[in-house]
A and B are shown apart, each in its own frame.
Chain A
Amino acid sequence: KQEVTQIPAALSVPEGENLVLNCSFTDSAIYNLQWFRQDPGKGLTSLLLIQSSQREQTSGRLNASLDKSSGRSTLYIAASQPGDSATYLCAVRPDTGRRALTFGSGTRLQVQP
């Protein structure tokens, strides 16, 4: 059974810092990996999707990398801002024909002004 772990569970940084969020998964047979942002009381906003054949994806200040063979992904946030404060979730879709995503428990990020 696929297990997804996110470290750290919570992170507090001053505004302007660059930071890295980590995601690891136990089964490397994945179709893709998706990073989401969730604000309190809200649904999930898709940030980046990396297909299994890709190594990284970039969007603005965000860069996600994927090392499928070692079961790891990182989300790099450059020049963090208070508006980046949210919970960040990673999720993997298996390469077995199943469509369901398996999520980690998230990293709760607080960026201090």
Chain B
Amino acid sequence: GAGVSQSPRYKVAKRGQDVALRCDPISGHVSLFWYQQALGQGPEFLTYFQNEAQLDKSGLPSDRFFAERPEGSVSTLKIQRTQQEDSAVYLCASSLRASGGASYNEQFFGPGTRLTVL
């Protein structure tokens, strides 16, 4: 089956613009995660959904960042009034469940959206 897909793959925004990044998880995956990866660094956690419920948003860097997953499938990460420090790769991941054995909680990642804020 298809893996995690993200769109757009690349986004260039002028400072102050709003952007929306989309994630399509693997079909049937309950858990969905967003991470932010700066150049040369490992990904850093932003937020986590279980179905449509946002259970953890402790990693969102400011109130300009907002994520939703209204029907428990596709998710959108929105960044308002973008700043240069928002430039990074935004990665989405999904897992079948949040607990249980390895086959259930292994996280599978999409290709990412590279955001450049000018």
Give the distance in Å from the alpha carbon of A91 to the alpha carbon of B107 in the complex: 11
B45-A102 in contact (CB<8A) = yes
A105-B56 in contact (CB<8A) = no
Give the distance in Å from the alpha carbon of A34 to the alpha carbon of B107 in the complex: 9
- Check: B106 CB closer than 8 A to any chain A CB: yes
- Check: B25 CB closer than 8 A to any chain A CB: no
- Check: B72 CB closer than 8 A to any chain A CB: no
Interface flags, B55-74, vs A, CB<8A=1, else 0: 11011000000000000000
**Main SS at interface, chain A:** strand
- Check: A49 CB closer than 8 A to any chain B CB: yes
Q: Give, as a whole number of angstroms, the nearest-CB distance from A3 to chain B.
A: 11
- Check: A61 CB closer than 8 A to any chain B CB: no
**What is the interface size of chain B, counting residues whose CB is below 8 A from a CB of the partner?**
30
A32-B105 in contact (CB<8A) = yes
Give the distance in Å from the alpha carbon of A35 to the alpha carbon of B112 in the complex: 18
In the complex, what residues of B have CB within 8 A of residue A93's CB?
Answer: 105
Give the distance in Å from the alpha carbon of A93 to the alpha carbon of B93 in the complex: 14
Would you list which residues of chain A between 43 and 58 have a CB under 8 Å from chain B? Answer: 43-46, 49-51
Size range of the chain A interface in the assembly: 20 to 34
B102-A43 in contact (CB<8A) = no
B42-A99 in contact (CB<8A) = no
Q: Give, as a whole number of angstroms, the nearest-CB distance from B97 to chain A.
A: 10
Give the distance in Å from the alpha carbon of A49 to the alpha carbon of B42 in the complex: 17
A51-B106 in contact (CB<8A) = no
In the complex, what residues of B have CB within 8 A of residue A109's CB?
Answer: none
Q: Which of A43, A50, A104, A105 contacts B109 (CB under 8 A)?
A: A43
- Check: B44 CB closer than 8 A to any chain A CB: yes
In the complex, what residues of A have CB within 8 A of residue B55's CB?
Answer: 99
Given A42-B112, A44-B93, 13 other A-B residues pairs in contact with their CB atoms under 8 A: A36-B109, A43-B91, A43-B112, A46-B107, A49-B106, A51-B102, A99-B55, A100-B48, A100-B58, A100-B59, A101-B43, A105-B42, A106-B42
B interface residues with partner A (beta carbon < 8 Å)? 4, 6, 31, 33, 35, 40-45, 48, 55-56, 58-59, 91, 93, 98, 101-102, 105-112, 114
